[in-house]
Structure 1
Amino acid sequence: MGGSGHGAGCGMAEVVVFVLALVAGTGCSLTSKVLLDMESEGMDGVVKKFEKPLFQTLGMFVGMCAALIIHALVLTFKIPFPGYKHKKSVSKRKGYAAVGEVGEPEEEETPSIPIWMYFLLLIPSLFDLCATALCMLGLLHVEVSIYQMLRGSAIIFVAILKHFVLKDKLRDFMWVGVGWNVVSIILVGMTAMFSGGGGEGDDGKDPVKGVCLILAGAFVQSLQYAFEEKVMSMEISAPPLLLIGMEGFWGTVVCIFVLYPICYALPGADVGGTMENPYDTIAMMQNSAELRQMFLFYFLSIFFYNALAVLVTFMLNSVWHAILDNFRPITVWGTDLFIFYFVTTSFGEKWTVWSWVQLGGMVVLFYGTAIYNAPHAGSLKLDGGLLSCFCKFDYSDLEDEDEESQPLVPVNDAAAAPYQSPYQSPFMTPNTLAKRRAAEKEGKVFSKVSRGGSFA
């Protein structure tokens, strides 16, 4: 099929963008772990590992801030980009059409983004900040492949929040998917704990602590998803690059002016008896060119993954965005093994007897997620067969339209359906989809405030 974008098909352009996004996403996780294992001389003259999780969190948000520059360029030079609609002729219309805007006559002016929207984006940014910091602390104690898989536990917490807090009741088959994801987390957690000896090792790593921190981060991430879905009925939403950039902006501000002073004042194991000393971080960066280069790779991988993930969702659909995230544990683990066995044993990860358990956990994770995401393309319906473990559920009451049957269309196309946001949550349930479609049929806007994403 031709690759015309807007969910129309999977051509060469779509394949290239998907692969590039996968490479960038893999780079985010790997460079993050490599940074933690690199060594440099600090302000105290001691050569040590660059274990600075708060600095990495700050770097992630600064990388996301770069989206604001691209956002400004898109508007100024009217560059075609997913989620933006530029005026084609001189009229009352100015700027761009916000993501999710229903088609309007050419002469009507597109509403601009209100000031309160910029401040509202502080809330998901704080969730993202807390989740990323917890996961970075956990990454200090476990391998990057385990870290990547454990972050998939967010879907478990999302399901619980959606069902009991948002009152968006999950179908029975979705609970089956959640159950399999719980099994996968248990298997991966066992791998982390038993392969690491079950307690704190001589190198100061405590796998149990690492698993708990990453799961806590996944829970906070689920609160972010729940918040986003709660505000999905808002009539005004922001363009994707602005979403990414503003989340990065607020995260940067909070890191510099709130978290760093707190971490510098609290007692800890860093230089000067602090939790994390920014002056020691600067000294270590200045004393190692390799460290600066790796941080640059980390910064660029974050930015490009955010931008390319938007393109994946826009050119294909949000299901493919979810598939992209599910592929990352495979590429991260595979690359980590390749580095250890074919590049250098100083970094990477070796295969152990417990790796077989981890592999089983990965397969179960994919299986559970495929069940949960039904009936979309790429999912698995439980039809009573062997692959369904002889479980059978009735899907007949669900609309058989997945997102591939609903192409994204320009706002001002006379025959167009309402424009759909390229930021649709991979955790969107059939109930949420039904609400969105009902709103669109009534001519209302059904959009969402969505995250640029934490992809460290």
Structure 2
Amino acid sequence: MGFTAYQTFLAVVMVTTGSLNTLATKWADRSHSAGRDGVEREFNHPYVQALGMFLGELSCLLGFRILYMYYMRKDYTEDQLPPSISGNRDFKRSVFALPALCDLLATSTMYVGLNLTYASSFQMLRGSLIIFTAIMSVVFLKRKLKAYEYTGIGFVIVGLTIVGVSDMISSNSASKDTNNIIIGDVLIILAQIVTAAQMVLEEKFVNSQRVSPLQVVGWEGFFGFVTMAILLVPMYFIKVGNGVFNNPNGQIEDAIDAWYQIKNNWQVACGFSGTIISIAFFNFAGVSVTKQISATTRTVLDSIRTIVIKIVGVALSWEKVDGIQLGGFSLLLIGMFLYNDVLIRPTYLKWSRQRNRSDYVNDKDTAEGYNEPIMQ
């Protein structure tokens, strides 16, 4: 069954804005700007970028309110509201707090990792989410995995290993430090454990509330933004040196320095703004795809944006074409398709049924031929 026009629109928005989000964040990371001490350096502020991401998600509540008021003034009934704002109005806002905290921890960790590794590797390594989601769904949701799902997980593990090895090899011929690459890749994979917990929590609590996609994104953004804004205060006073972070006085995060860098360079400002705007549309489209089509389709579309990010990264000379990495990504893609029962297994089953049907017809014709009376 094909997509409706609205579903196709959601798919295009998800791939486009998802790709823009990673690329905009990496653009800001790579840009140099003068900080509060007047020294030019790369924009290394993962926690401020996480705050921007939650601000983008929070803006979805404003979008929900505007759309809801618009349709109510036109005397629409609840049943006539568009899918983006239709849903339960009487739900517990507090159920979004725990998933939002998971999102905060995972996103902040991933942004630190993105600072240390390549944009395409960042996106590819997020494929490890399948492994941890499967484990947690078995443990906490009592789900039983099928043979093809285990096979898919196996392909993903091999693909991730190849991508990691490729990054270490690439770092030897590039300006990036091998240790930073390894740390970045490990942080991204660890963040997927927290993201998996977030998805399990959403499936168990949030999705049962039947809330509209805009409100799901908006309320998680609200709790994430408030928490991150509070945490930025102690982060300013905690000094850890400049091994991973690059703040003037060695703090975990220096939001004041980040503000100066955003103000002093239009590229940093555009990259940071792009992160805020794109994440709002991406998360809305992602939740809507899950609600309108399936979580499987959302995973496949997420894989497509990995290809887009790789192509753009090579075109902008941020990365090089790496045969080993492409091989690892191919195995990752096969694993994702197998785990989500997309394309590969359905195609094989369809071919197998057609072949069996053809063999049955041929056997039947042969048998009938043997039963025909011999003409004298």
User: Are 2:324 and 1:357 equivalent residues in the alignment?
Assistant: yes
Which residue identity is paired with 2:345? L
CA drift at 1:298? 2.0
Q: What secondary structure does 1:215 align onto?
A: helix
- What is the TM-score when the length of structure 1 is the normalising length? 0.69
Contact map agreement 1:43 1:283 (CA 8 A) in 2: yes
What do residues 173-229 of structure 1 show as CA deviations (whole Å, max 9, x unaligned)?
A: 21111111111110111111221139x977696111111100110111111122223
Alignment deviations for residues 86-107 of structure 1 (CA, whole Å, 9 cap, x no partner):
266xxxxxxx8625xxxxxxxx
Q: Contact 2:27–2:268 (CA<8 Å) still a contact in 1?
A: no
Q: Which of these residues, 41, 46, 55, is aligned with residue 53 of structure 1?
A: 46
Matching residue's letter, 1:265: F
CA deviation after TM superposition for structure 1 residue 267, in Å: 1.0
Shift of 1:272: 2.2
Tell me the secondary structure at the aligned position of residue 129 of structure 2.
helix
Aligned partners of 1:163 and 1:169 also within 8 Å:
yes
Taking the TM superposition and a 5 Å limit, the aligned residue runs for 1:44-443 are 44-78=37-71, 86=78, 98=87, 112-114=89-91, 117-197=92-172, 206-231=180-205, 234=208, 236-257=209-230, 259-268=231-240, 269=242, 270-313=247-290, 316-340=293-317, 348-351=318-321, 355-374=322-341, 378=343, 380-381=345-346
Letter in 2 for 1:273: G
SS at match of 1:267: coil
Stretches of structure 1 that go unaligned for 5 or more consecutive residues are 1-7, 89-95, 100-111, 341-347, 388-456
CA 379–75 in structure 1, closer or farther in 2 if over 3 Å, else same: farther
**Whole-Å separation in 2 of the counterparts to 1:85 and 1:122:** 30
Structure 2: how far apart are the matches of 1:272 and 1:363?
43
Deviations 1:296-324 (A, max 9, x none): 22221112222333444455444322221
- Aligned-partner SS, 1:48: strand
Larger Rg: 2
Separation in 2, partners of 1:243, 1:14: 19
Q: Is the Cα–Cα contact under 8 Å of residues 178 and 368 in structure 1 kept in the other structure?
A: yes
| Distance verdict in 2 for CA 1:203–1:161, change over 3 Å | closer
Distance 1:195 1:246, change over 3 A: same
- Please report how far the alpha carbon of residue 12 of structure 1 lies from its aligned counterpart in structure 2 after TM superposition: 5.3
Distance 2:161 2:199 in 1: 23
Give the Cα separation in 1 of the matches to 2:272 and 2:86: 36
* CA-CA distance at 1:165 after TM superposition: 3.5
Corresponding position of 2:23: 30
Confirm or deny: 8 A CA contact 2:168 2:178 kept in the other structure: no
**Quick one: distance in 2 between partners of 1:371 and 1:126?**
31
* TM-score using structure 2 length: 0.83
* Secondary structure at 2:345 match in 1: coil
| 1:191–1:357 CA contact under 8 A, matched in 2 | yes
Q: Which has the higher helix share?
A: 2
Partner of 1:424: none
Is residue 213–residue 287 contact of structure 2 (8 Å, CA) maintained in 1?
yes
Confirm or deny: 8 A CA contact 1:85 1:97 kept in the other structure.
Answer: no
**Is the CA contact (8 Å cut-off) linking 1:319 and 1:378 kept in structure 2?**
no
Distance verdict in 2 for CA 1:11–1:244, change over 3 Å: closer
Structure 1 residue 284 displacement after superposition: 1.2
Q: How does 1:444-455 map to 2 (within 5 A)?
A: none
Give the letter for the 1:49 counterpart: E
Q: Does residue 9 in structure 1 map to residue 17 in structure 2? A: no
Q: Percent identity?
A: 28
Deviation at 1:233, TM superposition (A): 8.2
* One-letter code aligned to 2:256: Y
Distance 1:87 1:194, change over 3 A: closer
Contact 2:213 2:288 in 1 (8 A): no
How many residues in Structure 1 have an aligned counterpart in Structure 2? Answer: 342
SS across alignment from 2:338: helix
Compared CA separation, residues 263 and 201, structure 1 to 2 (3 A): farther
State the AA in 2 paired with 1:308: A
Question: What is the CA–CA distance in structure 1 between the aligned matches of 2:316 and 2:72, rounded to whole Å?
Answer: 39
Alpha-carbon distance in 1 for matches of 2:200, 2:297: 21
SS of residue in 2 equivalent to 1:196 = helix
Q: Is the 8 A contact 1:63 1:300 kept in 2?
A: yes
Is the CA contact 1:65–1:248 (under 8 Å) kept in the aligned structure 2?
Answer: yes
Higher relative contact order (CA 8 A, sep 6+): 2
Query: Residues of 1 paired with 2:229 and 2:298: CA distance?
Result: 31
Instruction: Tell me the SS of whatever aligns to 1:250.
Output: helix
